[in-house]
């Protein structure tokens, strides 16, 4: 089963860190990613640039509407994701708990809805 | 007790804590209907919270709760279609009458039987500890799910299925006969230890519910040890948990940083708890057969000597892990044996023992394996391989304090090697 681990955290958390703490935080993510790779469960992973860089598009009454900023303004923002392939939700949760994001934010675990699956 | 008693909610809570498992065990012993007993009991507690503040706490709260719970169970059964099964259950319930004498004396304690039902071979191994926490201690499914890192709905379903199995398969609440006792007891002890281990993994007590879990597991351990005082493994498990628990505060420094066992200040260990653990261990040793928990408690005892300003007895620890490996074949025991070997015969011997485990899939995602490997590689002078092992350990760790500790070790290593 494929699961998306969505990492939500408060961007200001990182701004408050000293350079060495920030480096340590990044290194923890790097090590986590490597552990996922080594376990053979990682499909893909990416970090997202902060929400001020977001642009939101939708079609309203047939006209496109383009807005600056993210879809939802919340304190905790989607900062990145890990797509993993593991046998079941229990295993997905054990990986989510190891994600550094679980201690400075939250990790939402969502099963992938495969095309054609009801 | 005076009416409008403000202590009533607390009295209900205290009665709940003290008697929950006892009442469940008593109510469900013959019907095998644990879920039904839980429903009835929760209604009885709700009734108590409504009634006691007005009329005062009854003289024997437990008996009051039981009487109401039995009435609620009977009502629930009557509301269903009165088929043969329900009629039979009603008959059993009416059999469970407590006469006035019993109202004033203690309920028969069937909790041990309830624990054996929870750890019955017919119940999935993974759900045994959660089931005990729920039916003996009254934990809700969401709390248990968090502790065991399982989705709450999944945990709820697993618990319901287990209770349905107890009812449908008619799993008895009897304490097994001597011959079968040892094997069945192991399952009970394993489940209690699983609950303890889940609680232990939250050393900061950041999650109050989890810290509670370690305490509750010790409570269960005490219950079993007191009900089976001649079973060495029951005493051994309690000794092991108390030894570990005695060090809980020493695992963090005042800044909240992780402190590994080897660097802990023994003065911070709970001396009274260690004394109790040692007494239990010597009692256990007098019972004859030595099992896993006595061996593991003995390992802790060999560390506890540091209280007397002497080093941990690594030679004894190595022998104990030899015995544990032979007894259980557990890869974790083999890992700990390798760590002990590094102390008695040097890091190269420890590494060789770790290499022998390198292909064990059960250790591939096990953080302590990689942390031990990193440490021994660093001590052997192989900084590059040590760094790789540290990265793997860091990536696998979920406790932020331990993760940071590992990162600092890795940073020291890279600073030293450049």
3-state secondary structure A62-96: CEEEEEECCCCCCCCEEEEEEEEECCCHHHHHHHH
Range of B54-58, B117-121, B294-298 with top mean pLDDT: B294-298
Distances (CA, A) of A7 to A12, A32, B234, B318: 15, 13, 43, 43
- Alpha-carbon distance A19 to nearest alpha carbon in chain B (angstroms): 15
pLDDT digits (tens, 9 = 90+) for A42-90: 999 999 998 999 999 999 998 999 999 898 888 899 999 999 999 999 9
Strand order from edge to edge, sheet including A77-85: A42-47, A77-85, A2-9, A105-111
List the one residue out of B204, B139, B226, B242 whose CA is nearest residue B404: B204
- Alpha-carbon distance B82 to nearest alpha carbon in chain A (angstroms): 40
- In terms of DSSP bridges, do strands A42-47 and A77-85 run parallel, antiparallel, or are they unpaired? antiparallel
Q: Output the CA torsion sign for B135, B137, B142, B143.
A: negative
pLDDT digits (tens, 9 = 90+) for B381-413: 999 999 999 999 999 999 999 999 999 999 999
CATH number of A2-111: 3.30.70.1060
pTM of the model: 0.85
Kindly report which listed range (A33-37, B58-62, B288-292) carries the lowest average pLDDT score: B58-62
In a domain, B59, yes or no: yes
Give φ, ψ of A78 to 5 degrees: -65, 120
pLDDT digits (tens, 9 = 90+) for B231-275: 999 999 999 999 999 998 899 999 989 999 999 999 999 999 999
> With an 8 Å Cβ cutoff, are A34 and B391 in contact?
yes
In a domain, B99, yes or no: yes
Tell me, what's the pLDDT at B146? 83
Rounded to whole angstroms, how far apart are CA atoms B294 and A91? 32
Tell me, what's the pLDDT at B297? 98
- Chain A residues whose beta carbon lies within 8 Å of the beta carbon of residue B154: 89-90
Q: Are A84 and A6 in contact (CB under 8 A)?
A: no
In a domain, B383, yes or no: no
> With an 8 Å Cβ cutoff, are A98 and B364 in contact?
no
Q: Are B174 and B28 in contact (CB under 8 A)?
A: no
- Alpha-carbon distance B226 to nearest alpha carbon in chain A (angstroms): 35
> With an 8 Å Cβ cutoff, are B392 and A35 in contact?
yes
Give the pLDDT band (50/70/90) at residue A92.
Answer: very high
- Chain B residues whose beta carbon lies within 8 Å of the beta carbon of residue A100: 400, 403
| Residue of chain B whose alpha carbon sits nearest to that of A30 | B395
Give the pLDDT band (50/70/90) at residue B102.
Answer: very low
> With an 8 Å Cβ cutoff, are B149 and A33 in contact?
no
Distances (CA, A) of B28 to B19, B80, B171, B292, B305: 14, 18, 11, 32, 46
Q: Are A95 and A43 in contact (CB under 8 A)?
A: no
Helix (H, G, I), strand (E, B) or coil at A54: coil
In a domain, B20, yes or no: yes
Kindly report which listed range (B80-84, B183-187, B373-377) carries the lowest average pLDDT score: B80-84
Helix (H, G, I), strand (E, B) or coil at B194: helix
Element (H, E) at A9: strand A2-9
- Compute the mean pLDDT over every residue in chain A, rounded to the nearest whole number: 93
Rounded to whole angstroms, how far apart are CA atoms B402 and B410? 12
Helix (H, G, I), strand (E, B) or coil at B252: strand
Residue B352 neighbours by CB under 8 Å, 6+ apart = none
In a domain, B28, yes or no: yes
Helix-strand-coil percent breakdown of chain A, rounded to 5? Answer: 35, 35, 30
Give me the number of domains chain B comprises. 1
In a domain, B165, yes or no: no
Count Cβ atoms below 10 Å from residue B46 Cβ, excluding itself: 13
> With an 8 Å Cβ cutoff, are B365 and A35 in contact?
yes
Would you state the structure tokens that stand for residue B63, as one six-digit string?
């008996």
Does B257 contact A at CB distance below 8 Å?
Answer: no
> With an 8 Å Cβ cutoff, are B395 and A36 in contact?
yes
Enumerate the β-bridge partners of residue A108: A6
- Chain A residues whose beta carbon lies within 8 Å of the beta carbon of residue B391: 30-31, 34-35
> With an 8 Å Cβ cutoff, are B394 and A97 in contact?
no
Enumerate the β-bridge partners of residue B158: none
In terms of residues, how long is chain B? 418
Kindly report which listed range (B25-29, B55-59, B119-123, B375-379) carries the lowest average pLDDT score: B55-59
In a domain, B414, yes or no: no
Tell me, what's the pLDDT at B2? 47
- Compute the mean pLDDT over every residue in chain B, rounded to the nearest whole number: 87
Biggest alpha carbon distance in chain B?
81
> What mean pLDDT do residues B363-387 have?
95
Does B403 contact A at CB distance below 8 Å?
Answer: yes
In a domain, B398, yes or no: no
> With an 8 Å Cβ cutoff, are A100 and B404 in contact?
no
Rounded to whole angstroms, how far apart are CA atoms B289 and B309? 32
Reported ipTM: 0.86
- Chain B residues whose beta carbon lies within 8 Å of the beta carbon of residue A35: 365, 391-392, 394-396
In chain A, where are the structural domains located? 2-111
Residue A26 neighbours by CB under 8 Å, 6+ apart = none
Tell me, what's the pLDDT at B416? 79
Place of tokens 């079609």: A59
Structural domain harbouring B15: 8-108
pLDDT digits (tens, 9 = 90+) for B154-208: 999 999 999 999 999 989 888 888 778 888 899 999 999 988 988 776 555 555 4
- Chain A residues whose beta carbon lies within 8 Å of the beta carbon of residue B405: none
| Residue of chain A whose alpha carbon sits nearest to that of B155 | A90
Kindly report which listed range (B110-124, B263-277, B367-381) carries the lowest average pLDDT score: B110-124
């Amino acid at each position: 089963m494929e699961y998306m681990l969505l990492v939500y955290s408060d961007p200001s958390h990182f701004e408050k860190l000293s350079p060495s703490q920030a480096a340590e935080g990044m290194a923890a993510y790097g090590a986590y990613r490597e552990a996922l790779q080594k376990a053979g469960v990682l499909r893909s992973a990416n970090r997202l640039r902060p929400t001020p860089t977001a642009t939101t598009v939708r079609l309203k009454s047939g006209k496109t509407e383009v807005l600056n900023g993210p879809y939802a303004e919340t304190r905790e923002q989607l900062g990145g994701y890990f797509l993993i392939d593991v046998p079941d939700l229990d295993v997905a949760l054990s990986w989510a708990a190891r994600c550094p994001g679980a201690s400075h934010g939250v990790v939402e675990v969502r099963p992938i809805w495969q095309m054609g699956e009801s | 007790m005076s009416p409008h008693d403000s202590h009533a909610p607390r009295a209900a809570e205290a009665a709940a804590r003290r008697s929950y498992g006892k009442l469940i065990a008593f109510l469900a012993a013959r019907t095998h209907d644990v879920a039904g007993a839980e429903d009835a009991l929760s209604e009885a507690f709700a009734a108590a919270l409504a009634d006691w503040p007005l009329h005062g706490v009854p003289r024997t709260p437990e008996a009051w709760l039981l009487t109401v719970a039995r009435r609620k169970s009977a009502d629930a059964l009557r509301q269903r279609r009165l088929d043969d099964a329900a009629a039979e259950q009603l008959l059993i319930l009416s059999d469970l009458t407590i006469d006035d004498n019993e109202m004033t004396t203690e309920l028969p304690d069937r909790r041990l039987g309830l624990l054996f039902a929870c750890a019955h071979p017919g119940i999935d191994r993974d759900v045994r500890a959660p089931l005990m926490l729920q039916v003996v201690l009254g934990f809700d499914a969401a709390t248990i799910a968090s502790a065991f890192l399982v989705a709450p709905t999944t945990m709820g379903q697993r618990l319901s299925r287990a209770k349905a199995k107890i009812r449908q398969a008619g799993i008895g609440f009897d304490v097994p006969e001597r011959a079968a006792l040892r094997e069945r007891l192991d399952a009970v002890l394993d489940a209690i230890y699983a609950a303890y281990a889940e609680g232990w993994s939250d050393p900061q007590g950041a999650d109050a519910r989890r810290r509670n879990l370690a305490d509750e597991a010790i409570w269960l351990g005490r219950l079993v040890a007191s009900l089976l005082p001649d079973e060495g493994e029951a005493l051994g498990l309690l000794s092991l948990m108390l030894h570990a628990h005695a060090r809980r505060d020493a695992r963090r420094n005042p800044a909240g940083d992780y402190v590994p066992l080897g660097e802990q200040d023994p003065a911070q260990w709970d001396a009274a708890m260690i004394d109790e653990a040692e007494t239990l261990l010597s009692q256990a040793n007098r019972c004859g057969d030595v099992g896993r928990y006595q061996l593991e408690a003995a390992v802790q005892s060999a560390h506890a000597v540091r209280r007397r300003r002497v080093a941990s007895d690594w030679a004894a620890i190595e022998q104990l892990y030899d015995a544990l490996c032979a007894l259980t074949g557990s890869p974790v025991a083999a890992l700990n044996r390798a760590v002990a070997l590094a102390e008695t015969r040097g890091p190269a011997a420890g590494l060789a023992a770790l290499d022998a485990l390198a292909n064990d899939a059960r250790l591939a995602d096990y953080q302590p394996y990689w942390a031990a490997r990193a440490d021994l590689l660093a001590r052997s002078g192989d900084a590059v391989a040590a760094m790789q092992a540290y990265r793997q350990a860091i990536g696998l760790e979920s406790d932020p304090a331990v993760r940071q500790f590992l990162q600092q070790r890795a940073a020291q290593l890279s600073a030293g090697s450049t």
